[in-house]
Amino acid sequence: MTTTPTDTQALSLPLSRAAKHADEQPISELIKMALDDPALISLAAGLVDFETLPGQSVAPIIRDILADPAGAKAALQYGTTEGFAVFRQQLYDHLCALDDAQTDVYPGSADDVVVTTGSQQLLNILAEVLLDADDIVIAGWPSYFVYTSTLTAYGATIRSVDLDEHGMVPEKLDRLLAGLSAAGQLHRVKFLYVVSYHQNPTGITLSAERRQQLLDIVKHYSAKAGHRIVLVEDAAYRELTYQGEAPPSIKSMDDNNQYVALCQTFSKPFAPGLKTGYGLLPSDLVEAVKLSKGGRDFGSSNFNMHIISRAMSSGAFAQHVGVLKRAYAAKIQATLDALEEHFTGIDGVSWTDPTGGLYVWLTLPEAVDTSRPGPLFGHAIKQGVLFVPGVYCYPNDPTRTAPTNTIRLAVGVPNPKQVREGIARLAQAVGQVLG
Amino acid sequence: MTTTPTDTQALSLPLSRAAKHADEQPISELIKMALDDPALISLAAGLVDFETLPGQSVAPIIRDILADPAGAKAALQYGTTEGFAVFRQQLYDHLCALDDAQTDVYPGSADDVVVTTGSQQLLNILAEVLLDADDIVIAGWPSYFVYTSTLTAYGATIRSVDLDEHGMVPEKLDRLLAGLSAAGQLHRVKFLYVVSYHQNPTGITLSAERRQQLLDIVKHYSAKAGHRIVLVEDAAYRELTYQGEAPPSIKSMDDNNQYVALCQTFSKPFAPGLKTGYGLLPSDLVEAVKLSKGGRDFGSSNFNMHIISRAMSSGAFAQHVGVLKRAYAAKIQATLDALEEHFTGIDGVSWTDPTGGLYVWLTLPEAVDTSRPGPLFGHAIKQGVLFVPGVYCYPNDPTRTAPTNTIRLAVGVPNPKQVREGIARLAQAVGQVLG
C-alpha cells in the first residue's frame, strides 16, 4: 500500500467539458459596479422593487402555518419532487383564471403542473431534457439573455426571429423554418422560446392574433420535422400588466396540451426570496422534467410552497399583485415621460411602449455605440447612471450580428424620481457622445 | 406563409439523450406502497421524524425577520448565486466548530462556501462540473443510491470499494487505484465519493485514522493521474451523532483546501422543508459550481437562508440538534434492541451498530433473497412491514454483482414502538422464508 502524500500543489481540477464551457454572465460585472458605487442610479438590475416586498402579508400567513401543528409538520418535512397536490391544483386554477377559462376546457390538468426553484430552474431543465449538442432553438431577436446563454451552454445553436411592436413576427418565423426545412435541418429544431408578456428586454407583448399564428406555425413544421417542436412560453411578467387586458396565454390555445410548456413564477409578482416558479407542461414532458428535477434536488422548498399556497387561498397574493401593479406602473410611466422629455426630437431615437413588466427598450442613432467598451457606457458611468448594453440581449445566432445602438432600461429597483434622474443623466451622456 | 394546423397527435417529444436515459428511482415504488397502506410500518422511507420538526423554533425567528423592515426586504429579495456573505461566514464557522478548529488554521474560508437547494443539488452539480461520459467515480459498496444513480445518469462508470465496520477499507481503495493505474485508466478517475458519518445505507462511520489514509491515497494517485482526484465528502448525518465523539471531517485534513468537497445540509439536522444545503469547496471548484448553479437557478431561496442564519445565531439550531439527537438515539436503540431480541442466534445474520444517523444495515443468510421479486419482500408486506432491499443500495459497478441478502432499515419516521413492532414483523417474515 502506497500512501505517501506527494507534492501536488500544481495539479489542475479535472473539470468536465460542460464546466469548461460555462461562461460568467456579462451582467455580473454590471451588478458589481452598482454595488461598488451606491451613488450610481442603476437602470440595469433585474431585481424587483424593494419597497413592495410582501413582508407584511407573509408574516400572518407563516404565523398561521406554524401555529397549526399538522400544517407546520407538512411544511417543514420533505415534499414531493413536483410539489404538493393542493398547491399544484391552485396553480392550475390560477392559470385558468388568468385565461378566463373553465378548468374543464383548459389544456392539461393539475397533474401537468410542476413546481420549481424559480422559473429559471424549469427553463434550465427544459433545455436539458429537450436538447442535445448541435440542436437548434429559435428565440426572439433580442431575447432574455440569461436563458439564451443557458441554451448556448447546452450546446444548442440559436436561430433568431425579429420582433416588432406586436412581438415576434410570424412571417419571419415561418421563413426561417421554411429555410431550415429546405436545408434538411428541421430535425435539429427542438423548441421555440417566446417571452410572451412584457418581454425581457424590450417590454413588448406578443399580440393575441400572433399567439395563435406562432402556435400554428410550430404545429405545421412539427409535422414536417416528424417530432413536436415545443413552444416554451415564458410568462414571468404576465401578472404585471398595468394597461389594458393581458392577452390569453399561448398555452390556452394548446388544445390537447401537446405543444406549449408554459413557465411562470412568483418571483416577479410576489417575492423572489421565496424562489418559487412553476410550469404547465405536456404530460409526457412532465415525466421527463420530474426525472431531471428528482436528480437535481428531489423537490424545491416545501415550506415556501406552503407559504404561497396560503397566500393564494387567503387572497394575499392577489392583493399584493395589485400593490405591485400600481408601483411598477408609476415607474414605467416615469421612464416613458423622461424619455419623452429628454430624447424627443433626436434623429434615430425610439423606444418601446410597454403595457407592463419592468423593462423599456431604447434604440439610439446607429452612430452611438452602447456596448461596454464603447464611449457611451463610460460617459454614463461618469454621469452616474448604469444601463445594460442592448448587445448583451441578442442571442448568439451565428448568422447575424447584433446591433450596438440599443439599451435595456430596467426599472424594478429605482423609484420614479430616480428613474427620471437616471434618464436625464443618460440623455446627458448621449449628448456628449453625439457631440 | 403556411400556417395550416396539421393533425400531429402522434408526434413524439424530441427528448434529449440525457432525458431518455433518466430512470425513475426504484424507491419511488416503495414510497407509493407506504402511502397506499397506512397500516404498513415503513422502515423504508428516508424522511425525517415528523414529531421533532422545528415549527416552534422557527415561528419566532420568522416573526422577528419580518418585523424588521430592512430584514424582511433582504430576505424576500433575490439573493446571490452562492448565498449571502454573513450566512456563508456562519457556515464556515460552524464547520470549524464541528472540527474543533480555529478559523485561521481551517482549510479555505467563507468565500469557499456555496449554499444550495439541499446537499443533493450540490452533489448533482459536482457530478456535472467534474464528469464527462466514460469517466470513473469510486464509491462505497454499498453507497447512497440516489447519488450513485445520478452519477450513472451523468454517464460515469462507478467502481466500488468495500466497507467494513470502520468504513471504506483503504487497502482496497489503494488496490483498485493501483489496478486502474496499471491499466492506464487513471486519467478517467475524477472523484471518490464517501459518506463519512453514519453512512446511508449502513450507518457506518469512517474511522478517524482511515480519513487521513483515504485522503493520502487520493493525493498519491492524483500525482500519478496528473490531475486532482477530488474527494467528495458527504457529511449529511454529521450532526446526528448520538454516541461518542464524531471524528473530524476529512475536509479538516485538507491542508491547502485542494482536494475535499465537503457537502452538508440542514435537511437532516433541522428541517428538510427549508431545503438548504451547503459545501466547503476548493476555491477553483467554487467558481465552476457557481457558474453551474447560476444557470440552474441563480441562487436558492434567500428567505430560507435568512431563517437558518437567524436560527444559528440565536442558538435555536444548536438546541434543535439536541432535541433530534435524543429522539433519533431512542429509535436507533429500539432498532438494535429489537434486532437483538428477534434475530440473535440465526446463523448468518448480522447488523451494523451505528453511533448516529437514521440507518441500520441488516445482513441475512445468503439463502434469503431480500430483493423486490424475492419471497421475503412479499411476506414482509403481508406481515405489515416495508423495507428497502439492500440490492438497491449497491452502485452499478460493472465488475461486481450485488449481494441479495441485505436490508436497509430507516428509522426516521416510525417511533420506537413502531420500530420494535416493525422488526418483530420482519423477523416473522424471515422465519417464513427460512421455513
Closest alpha carbon within chain A to B150? A295
Same domain? B173 vs B104: yes
DSSP string, B92-157: HHHHHHHTT--TTTSSS-GGGEEEESHHHHHHHHHHHHH--TT-EEEEEES--HHHHHHHHHTTPE
Look at residue B14 and tell me if it is in a domain: no
Which pLDDT belongs to residue B9? 56
Same domain? B108 vs B214: yes
Average pLDDT estimate for B254-265: 97
Partners of residue A309 in chain B, C-beta under 8 Å: none
Q: Is the per-residue pLDDT at B6 higher than 60?
A: no
Which pLDDT belongs to residue A9? 56
| Coil/strand/helix, residue A177 | helix
Look at residue B18 and tell me if it is in a domain: no
| Coil/strand/helix, residue B240 | coil
Partners of residue B63 in chain A, C-beta under 8 Å: 59, 62-63
Contact (CB<8Å) A11/B174 = no
Contact (CB<8Å) A19/B128 = yes
Partners of residue B173 in chain A, C-beta under 8 Å: none
User: How many beta-carbon contacts under 8 Å exist across A and B?
Assistant: 318
Same domain? B357 vs B380: yes
In the structure, what pLDDT confidence band is assigned to residue B32 with cuts at 50, 70 and 90? confident
Residues 6 or more apart whose Cβ sits within 8 Å of residue A20: none
Same domain? A49 vs A121: no
Closest alpha carbon within chain A to B116? A297
CATH code for position B248: 3.40.640.10
Compare CB distances from B223 to A8, A117, A296 and report the shortest one's residue.
A8
DSSP A110: G
Average pLDDT estimate for A239-259: 96
**Is the Cβ–Cβ distance between A422 and A380 less than 8 Å?**
no
Peptide bond into A142 cis (omega under 30): yes
Average pLDDT estimate for B347-364: 97
- B292, B314, B336 — which closes off a domain? B314
Contact (CB<8Å) A117/B300 = yes
State how far the alpha carbon of B330 is from the alpha carbons of A76, B194, B237, B323, B337, in Å: 22, 26, 16, 11, 10
- Grid cell of B294 as nine digits: 447560476
Counting other chains too, the contacts that A242-245 makes at CB distance below 8 Å and 24 or more residues apart are: A242/A325, A242/A328, A242/A329, A242/A332, A242/A355, A242/A356, A243/A329, A243/A355, A243/A356, A244/A355
In the structure, what pLDDT confidence band is assigned to residue B5 with cuts at 50, 70 and 90? very low
Extended beta strands in A106-248, E state: 113-116, 136-141, 157-164, 167-168, 189-195, 230-234
Average pLDDT estimate for A347-373: 97
- Among A151-160, B9-18, B38-47, B368-377, where is mean pLDDT lowest? B9-18
- Strands A350-351 and A359-363, by their bridges, are antiparallel
Partners of residue A176 in chain B, C-beta under 8 Å: none
Look at residue B13 and tell me if it is in a domain: no
Q: Is the per-residue pLDDT at A187 higher than 60?
A: yes
Look at residue A369 and tell me if it is in a domain: yes
In the structure, what pLDDT confidence band is assigned to residue B2 with cuts at 50, 70 and 90? very low
In the block, which residue shows the cell 413502531?
A: B418
Same domain? A274 vs A414: no
In the structure, what pLDDT confidence band is assigned to residue A8 with cuts at 50, 70 and 90? very low
- A316, A342, A370 — which closes off a domain? A316
CATH code for position A399: 3.90.1150.10
Same domain? A344 vs A291: no
Same domain? B134 vs B94: yes
Closest alpha carbon within chain B to A56? B66
Compare CB distances from A128 to B9, B16, B275 and report the shortest one's residue.
B16
- The nearest CA of chain B is from the CA of A338 a distance in Å of 27
Contact (CB<8Å) A48/B77 = yes
Closest alpha carbon within chain A to B225? A11
Contact (CB<8Å) B76/A298 = no
ipTM score here? Answer: 0.94
Which pLDDT belongs to residue A22? 80
Phi-psi region of A134 (alpha: psi -120 to 50; beta: other; left: phi over 0): left
Q: What is the enclosing helix (H) or strand (E) of A283?
A: helix A283-297
**Is the Cβ–Cβ distance between B198 and B357 less than 8 Å?**
yes
Partners of residue B261 in chain A, C-beta under 8 Å: none
- Grid cell of A381 as nine digits: 458611468
In the block, which residue shows the cell 423599456?
A: A360
Q: Is the per-residue pLDDT at A392 higher than 60?
A: yes
Residues 6 or more apart whose Cβ sits within 8 Å of residue B375: B369, B433
Compare CB distances from A275 to B14, B48, B302 and report the shortest one's residue.
B302
Which pLDDT belongs to residue B29? 81
Compare CB distances from A22 to B23, B273, B292 and report the shortest one's residue.
B292
Residue to test with chain A: of B23, B130, B298, most A Cβ within 10 A: B298
Contact (CB<8Å) B8/A302 = no
Q: Is the per-residue pLDDT at B8 higher than 70?
A: no
Average pLDDT estimate for B54-72: 94
Q: Is the per-residue pLDDT at B208 higher than 90?
A: yes
Compare CB distances from A25 to B258, B294, B300 and report the shortest one's residue.
B294
Contact (CB<8Å) B273/A77 = yes
- The nearest CA of chain B is from the CA of A320 a distance in Å of 14
In the block, which residue shows the cell 439564451?
A: A148
Q: Is the per-residue pLDDT at A35 higher than 60?
A: yes
Same domain? A102 vs A30: no
- The nearest CA of chain B is from the CA of A349 a distance in Å of 32
Contact (CB<8Å) B77/A47 = yes
- A316, A340, A365 — which closes off a domain? A316
The packing angle between helices B55-67 and B69-76, to 10°, is: 110
How many whole angstroms separate alpha carbon A297 and alpha carbon B275? 9
Residue to test with chain B: of A7, A12, A15, most B Cβ within 10 A: A15
Q: Is the per-residue pLDDT at A352 higher than 80?
A: yes
- Among A32-36, A257-261, A276-280, B314-318, where is mean pLDDT lowest? A32-36
The pTM (predicted TM-score) of the whole model is: 0.95
Radius of gyration over alpha carbons of chain B, in Å?
Answer: 23
Partners of residue A327 in chain B, C-beta under 8 Å: none
Contact (CB<8Å) B19/A227 = no
Contact (CB<8Å) B229/A47 = no
How many whole angstroms separate alpha carbon B315 and alpha carbon B313? 6
Partners of residue A4 in chain B, C-beta under 8 Å: 216, 220
Contact (CB<8Å) B6/A153 = no
- Among A50-64, A183-197, B2-16, B243-257, where is mean pLDDT lowest? B2-16
Closest alpha carbon within chain A to B275? A301
Compare CB distances from A130 to B14, B274, B306 and report the shortest one's residue.
B14
Q: Is the per-residue pLDDT at B227 higher than 60?
A: yes
Average pLDDT estimate for A14-21: 88
Which pLDDT belongs to residue A140? 98
Which pLDDT belongs to residue A5? 47
DSSP A280: E
**Is the Cβ–Cβ distance between A259 and B13 less than 8 Å?**
no
Look at residue A12 and tell me if it is in a domain: no
How many whole angstroms separate alpha carbon A17 and alpha carbon B15? 21
Closest alpha carbon within chain B to A169? B1
Which pLDDT belongs to residue A191? 97
Q: What percent of chain A has pLDDT over 90?
A: 89
At residue B42, what are phi and psi to the nearest 5 degrees?
-95, 115
Where in the sequence is the domain holding B251, given as residue range(s)?
Answer: 57-314
How many whole angstroms separate alpha carbon A240 and alpha carbon A66? 30
Contact (CB<8Å) B120/A24 = no
Give the side-chain half-sphere CA count within 13 A for A432: 17
| Coil/strand/helix, residue B260 | strand
- Among A13-27, B84-98, B385-399, where is mean pLDDT lowest? A13-27
DSSP B28: H
- Strands A260-265 and A277-280, by their bridges, are antiparallel
Count structural domains, chain B. Answer: 2
Residues 6 or more apart whose Cβ sits within 8 Å of residue A36: none
Q: According to the 3-state scheme, what is the secondary structure of B399-417?
A: CCCCCCCEEEEECCCCCHH
Same domain? B241 vs B137: yes
Look at residue A86 and tell me if it is in a domain: yes
Contact (CB<8Å) B298/A220 = no
Partners of residue B4 in chain A, C-beta under 8 Å: 216, 220
Look at residue A4 and tell me if it is in a domain: no
Counting other chains too, the contacts that A22-26 makes at CB distance below 8 Å and 24 or more residues apart are: A22/A153, A22/B288, A22/B291, A22/B292, A22/B295, A23/A149, A23/A153, A23/B291, A24/B291, A24/B294, A25/A145, A25/A146, A25/A149, A25/B294, A26/A372, A26/A392
Residue to test with chain B: of A2, A3, A116, A137, most B Cβ within 10 A: A3
- The nearest CA of chain B is from the CA of A244 a distance in Å of 28
In the structure, what pLDDT confidence band is assigned to residue B349 with cuts at 50, 70 and 90? very high
Contact (CB<8Å) A274/B301 = yes
Same domain? B310 vs B323: no
How many whole angstroms separate alpha carbon A217 and alpha carbon A170? 8
Look at residue B45 and tell me if it is in a domain: yes
| Coil/strand/helix, residue A223 | helix
Same domain? B287 vs B369: no
Same domain? B264 vs B350: no
Which pLDDT belongs to residue B3? 43
- The nearest CA of chain A is from the CA of B435 a distance in Å of 39
Which pLDDT belongs to residue A2? 44
**Positive or negative torsion for Cα B88, B93, B95, B98:** negative
Partners of residue B55 in chain A, C-beta under 8 Å: 66, 69, 72-73, 75-76
Closest alpha carbon within chain B to A306? B273
Contact (CB<8Å) B5/A298 = no
Contact (CB<8Å) B292/A58 = no
Closest alpha carbon within chain B to A212? B3
Q: Is the per-residue pLDDT at B383 higher than 70?
A: yes
Contact (CB<8Å) B59/A54 = no
In the block, which residue shows the cell 394546423?
A: B5
In the block, which residue shows the cell 437548434?
A: A136
> Average pLDDT of chain B?
94
Q: Is the per-residue pLDDT at A3 higher than 70?
A: no
